[in-house]
Amino acid sequence: MIQIAYVSSAVELFNGAAIERLLKDCRRRNQQRDISGMLLYRGGNILQVIEGEPDVVLPLFAKISRDPRHHGVIKFYQKTIEERDFPDWTMAFHNLDAPNARNEEGYSDFLMTNEGALAVQSAAAVKLVKLFKASMR
């Protein structure tokens, strides 16, 4: 398997309804493709880690890179992994009026808590999402 981590900036800020749709759509599609990872969104800033088989993850990242909803895609790394850092795809966001999203499977309150919900403390991806949390406005 491989893991890719990237950051980007939303072209327009997502409102609560858009976040709820994104959460539902991404979770459904990623489960179908056996892709896991985490998507963090805060104030127009996006950080995503995706992991799975290379023949699925590489085309997905190419598609993500062309998505017109964001720009400035910067890939931090791509690496081979033996096991997943994020076995269940989740999404965390902050300061959005999306009360229904919190009830959806796959929602994480990582950006709104002091401790976060990450079990693998030493992985590069985990360090990256913690840095994202700490540095966003």
The per-residue pLDDT for 73 is 93
Q: Which fold has domain 2-135?
A: Alpha-Beta Plaits (3.30.70)
Residue 122 has pLDDT above 80, yes or no: no
Task: Give me the pLDDT at residue 103, please.
Answer: 55
Q: Is the pLDDT of residue 56 over 90?
A: yes
Q: What is the end-to-end Cα distance of the chain in Å, rounded?
A: 33
Mean local confidence (pLDDT), 30-55: 87
pLDDT band at 30 (very low <50, low <70, confident <90, very high): confident
The domains of the chain are located at 2-135
Q: Burial, 6: exposed, middle or buried (Cβ in 10 Å; 0-12, 13-18, 19+)?
A: buried
- Residue 91 pLDDT: 59
Q: What is the pLDDT of residues 64-121, one digit of tens each?
A: 999 998 999 999 889 999 998 888 776 555 444 455 555 555 555 554 555 444 444 4
Q: Does the structure show a pLDDT above 50 at 20?
A: yes
Token pair 């800020």 is found at 13
Percentage of the chain lying above the pLDDT 70 cut: 64
| Averaged pLDDT score across all residues of the chain | 76
Distance in angstroms (rounded) separating the CA atoms of residues 115 and 40: 15
